[in-house]
Amino acid sequence: MLSQVSANIVASSAAIVVAVVLLLPQAEAARAFFVFGDSLVDNGNNNYLLTTARADSPPYGIDYPTHRPTGRFSNGYNIPDLISQALGAESTLPYLSPELNGEKLLVGANFASAGIGILNDTGIQFANIIRIAQQLELFARYQQRLGALIGADQAEQRVNQALVLITLGGNDYVNNYFLTPLSARRLQYNIQDYSVFLISEYRKILLRLYELGARRVLVTGTGPIGCVPGELATRSRNGECAEEPQQAAAIFNPLLIQMIQGLNQDLGSNVFVAVNAMQMQYDFITSPRAFGFVTSKVACCGQGAFNGVGLCTAASNLCPDRNVYAFWDPFHPTERANKIIVQTIITGSDKYMTPMNLSTIMALDSKI
């Protein structure tokens, strides 16, 4: 019975990807794609760094085409991969990959690094990671390399016409504010004031992206961080979403949308698009069976309560069917959950995407 359900789920997931590709203008296949942020979107940059924030060992990548770990914090594809597929393009390479040269530069680049946040003091326990200011510096360096390949004017045009994804915020709570009961940021701010501070710093990052030429930027906030297996294992009462992290996410995401609306108004253009990752994930967390999952509380890979304690390793518990789990490890969605998120990014209503979804962006930009 379960195997038949899994077969139906795999078939429906494939149909989602095919349908989404057909929705987007095929001319967009040539559009460059740039990615910034944390482990939710890291394609393997941390593989090249001396840090503990890595996903370069089994069973990570078990469902990737090579069935080997790639540095993605997933059993298979992550969100940037699936957006690239929907655009009809190949996945962006990590900026630190030695393969990123020549024609590969035209595809774009992934600058994301697991463990980072909006703030520089987020993720200090991971030591050598590419903080967001450094990611933006690498973006400027990338543009110089692209200019040397196709000329400065063509490089500038390619960056202006590119799609950009930036994912920040979750680590600023999980790996900073809530990291210890008496963290420095907890002593400095209450949750409301800390969230306002984060949004003010995020705004500066987005403005810097704009200065560097980004003109179409998908901006995600935090997911429902109190509901992930890692938080359920350490903070939950009776398996309910952890109260304080959920409170933080409920404050942060509306502030992010409000900030983006104001920033677009100041710029006189809908440069930035708010992606309500909190609502997207909360849908399948609260009603997992409606989305074909058997659980949204227990991670596929892990140990302890909810498989949410420690790291996902070769010694961890591992579920046999990743398609029926919403979470791959204590903090990251499965490939199938990522497909649901990306489908919503592309076709979702203003409940999820403000001021428009990705299919609308592509239709508008194809006329320019």
Query: What is the pLDDT, as a whole number, of residue 243?
Result: 95
Domains of the chain are: 33-274 (3.40.50)
Could you tell me which residues come within 8 angstroms of residue 337 by beta carbon, excluding any fewer than 6 positions away? 281, 284, 293, 326, 327, 328
Give me the helix-helix angle, 335-347 and 2-23, nearest 10°: 30
Q: Is 39 a catalytic residue?
A: yes
Q: Is 329 a catalytic residue?
A: yes
Q: Is 56 a catalytic residue?
A: no
Q: Can the peptide bond before residue 330 be classed as cis, meaning omega within 30 degrees of 0? A: no
Query: What is the pLDDT, as a whole number, of residue 237?
Result: 85
Of 91, 172, 316, 332, catalytic: 332
Query: What is the pLDDT, as a whole number, of residue 368?
Result: 65
Of 38, 39, 91, 172, catalytic: 39
pLDDT tens for the chain, 368 residues long, are 334 434 444 444 444 444 444 444 443 347 999 999 999 999 999 999 999 999 999 999 999 999 999 999 999 999 999 999 998 999 999 999 999 999 999 999 999 999 999 999 999 999 999 999 999 999 999 999 999 999 999 999 999 999 999 999 999 999 999 999 999 999 999 999 999 999 999 999 999 999 999 999 999 989 999 999 999 999 998 899 999 999 999 999 999 999 999 999 999 999 999 999 999 999 999 999 999 999 999 999 999 999 999 999 999 999 999 999 999 999 999 999 999 999 999 999 999 999 999 999 999 998 76
Query: What is the pLDDT, as a whole number, of residue 366?
Result: 86
Q: What is the DSSP string of 280-326?
A: HHHHHHHSGGGGT-SBSSS-SEEBSGGG-BS---TTSEE-S-GGGBS
Of 81, 283, 329, 359, catalytic: 329
What the block records as the tokens of 308 is 């949410």
Query: What is the pLDDT, as a whole number, of residue 57?
Result: 97
